[in-house]
Amino acid sequence: MKSPKIVLLGPPGAGKGTQGSLISGYFEIAHITTGNALRINRDLKTEYGTPRSYMDRGELVPDSIVNEIVEVEIKKVGGFVLDGYPRNKEQAEYLSTIAEIDKVIYLHVANEELIKRLSGRRVCPSCSENYHIEFRPPVRNGKCDSCGDKLIQRSDDEKDTILNRLRVFSEYTKPVLEYYNNREGFTKVEGRDNPEDVWESIRNIF
Ligand SMILES: [Zn+2]
């Protein structure tokens, strides 16, 4: 498939970033995340204001603006893999009016495993190096290998926040999954395995 248009869905911690990069590199297509699209277009003038006006106030950028900036990014490229969008059914419906999607890949990982992955993350506050207490532990317990600073846990990765993020995900994304479920090109991929095996399952879809 040449320059495919792909939607990659999955809960936080499912490995969307990793698989999105692999897909993007393999097909030589753009890896579009909502976060990146927002950063690039933060001063884009829309009838609802600029993304920056919301971000500066610490508010969630409304759907109508997110739709618009994703559209801007999509129109710049041929093929793409969308990561983190659509986040709800309204966005999915909007996407169907601006692009013909070839494949929708849902990376499924059980909550128990996601909690283990996310809650084990540690980061160095000085040099931003990432660690995981189980999968990528530092040589010296709790200390950064590069600079020796004491590792911390991001507030996003604390248990209560994780549970909340997962709850929000299932609440808003369930309707998205239902929306795509019976359409051609939808595939559920087991994301529990190691990244190489997940990538192989994804490649087999094409
Ligand atoms: Zn460090």
What span, in angstroms and rounded, lies between the C-alpha atoms of 35 and 74?
14
pLDDT in the model for residue 188:
95
pLDDT in the model for residue 30:
97
- Ligand 1 center to residue 43 CA distance, Å? 33
Q: What are phi and psi of 200, to 5 degrees?
A: -65, -40
Paired residues of 130 in beta bridges: 123
- Ligand 1 center to residue 124 CA distance, Å? 5
Query: Does the pTM exceed 0.85?
Result: yes
Q: Name the band, by pLDDT with cuts 50, 70 and 90, for residue 201.
A: very high
Q: Name the band, by pLDDT with cuts 50, 70 and 90, for residue 1.
A: confident
Residue-wise pLDDT tens digits, 15-59:
999 999 999 999 999 999 998 999 999 999 999 999 999 989 988
Mean pLDDT of all residues in 91-119: 95
Q: Name the band, by pLDDT with cuts 50, 70 and 90, for residue 80.
A: very high
- Ligand 1 center to residue 123 CA distance, Å? 8
- Ligand 1 center to residue 145 CA distance, Å? 7
For the annotated catalytic residues, the residue numbers are 16, 87, 121, 154, 165
Phi-psi label, residue 148: left if phi above 0, alpha if psi -120 to 50, beta otherwise: left
Q: Name the band, by pLDDT with cuts 50, 70 and 90, for residue 182.
A: confident
pLDDT in the model for residue 156:
86
What span, in angstroms and rounded, lies between the C-alpha atoms of 72 and 63?
14
pLDDT in the model for residue 154:
92
Residue-wise pLDDT tens digits, 131-169:
999 999 999 999 999 999 999 999 989 999 999 999 999
Q: Name the band, by pLDDT with cuts 50, 70 and 90, for residue 60.
A: confident
Q: What is the CATH number of domain 5-29+78-205?
A: 3.40.50.300
- Give the rounded percent of residues in the chain with a pLDDT score beyond 90: 88
- Ligand 1 center to residue 191 CA distance, Å? 29
- Ligand 1 center to residue 125 CA distance, Å? 7
What span, in angstroms and rounded, lies between the C-alpha atoms of 113 and 117?
6
pLDDT in the model for residue 67:
95
- Give the rounded percent of residues in the chain with a pLDDT score beyond 70: 100
